[in-house]
Amino acid sequence: MTAQQILETPDLIEAGMAGDEVRRRMHGVKTTFVRVFEIHVEAPPHALPPRTDAGEFRIVGRPASLAAAAAAVRAAVSLATGRPVTGFTVDALQSIGPLEAVGRVLRDAGLTAVAQLPIDRLADASAAASALRGSGLEIHTITIEDLADDPAQRLDICQRVRQLQHTSGGFKAFAPLPRVLSTTKPTTGYDDVKQIALARVVVDNVPSIQVDWALYGPKMAQVALTVGADDVDNVSAVDPGILGTRRSPLEEIRTNIKAAALEPSERNGLFAPR
């Protein structure tokens, strides 16, 4: 099934099967996930909550300055005790200085990788990626902040991601669902399923199609895994301890993946097995 046919068909099952076929050809039934402990750039905690087990410590929020960003990285590194520290979006770092210089400061502070490259927020995504990689930092995930209803624009964004990987390389995942959810005109489950399938068929040079567990929830994540996605991001690293072991975040994500007849495999923030 071609990308255009996925956009045009009213048959979600047919569209989903096209995405799943590519996913299984690339990954079989293996499905990765990562438990993330988020640290806001303006308020790093002094200690970890009880029952925290993270494969990635991720700094979120837009830093007011390079000094603030570096301070947050150092605080995160002290909490992470050797586990990967990622953080920020490329456009947020672009707002506080030249990317290569910013990247060097944050790398020296202990940052392992920039968390996300929002392709629709950058005038020249390839140049931005090159500058950060020149500083010694990796960028693993391409994201989308806003996504229009127009099918042509949805296809165009996937083609841009494919071209970015072709020219720059090094990206491990593409998260094709928007990170900014409109309260007046939200996406529908129908749109989201087709977008996942479309992304897997078009962006076949990026290893993983990713869905955000915290943003889209267990039900949408599970459906996404059956229509092209193979990686689940942002599973909680903190177990509140109030629902018992079988309802812990770790067991919930494992059960969710197994219920879709897939094989769960935990990874860390560097996309390496944990």
Q: What is the mean pLDDT of residues 121-135?
A: 97
- pLDDT per residue as tens digits for the range 229-241: 999 999 999 987 6
As a whole number of angstroms, the distance between CA 243 and CA 18 comes to: 38
Q: What is the mean pLDDT of residues 161-190?
A: 87
As a whole number of angstroms, the distance between CA 253 and CA 219 comes to: 11
Contact assessment for residue 16 and residue 229, using Cβ atoms and an 8 Å cutoff: no
Helix, strand, coil share of the chain (percent; to 5):
45, 20, 35
Tell me if the pTM is above 0.85: yes
Provide the percentage of residues in the chain whose pLDDT is more than 70: 95
Rg (CA), the chain: 18
In this model, does residue 245 exceed pLDDT 60? no
Q: What pLDDT score was predicted for residue 185? A: 63
As a whole number of angstroms, the distance between CA 145 and CA 179 comes to: 5
* Domains and their CATH numbers in the chain: 3-266 (3.20.20.70)
As a whole number of angstroms, the distance between CA 76 and CA 60 comes to: 11
Q: Write the single-letter amino acid at 94.
A: Q
| Mean pLDDT for all residues in the chain | 93
- pLDDT per residue as tens digits for the range 137-149: 999 999 999 987 8
Confidence label for 131 from pLDDT (cuts 50, 70 and 90): very high
- pLDDT per residue as tens digits for the range 247-256: 689 999 999 9
Q: What pLDDT score was predicted for residue 243? A: 59
As a whole number of angstroms, the distance between CA 270 and CA 274 comes to: 10
Strand residues in the chain grouped as ranges (E): 30-40, 56-60, 85-89, 113-118, 138-143, 173-175, 208-212, 231-236, 263-266
Q: What pLDDT score was predicted for residue 49? A: 92
Residues 6+ away with beta carbon under 8 Å from 265: 30, 31, 32, 33, 273
- pLDDT per residue as tens digits for the range 158-169: 999 999 999 999
- pLDDT per residue as tens digits for the range 76-94: 999 999 999 999 999 999 9
In this model, does residue 244 exceed pLDDT 70? no
Q: What pLDDT score was predicted for residue 183? A: 63
In this model, does residue 101 exceed pLDDT 60? yes
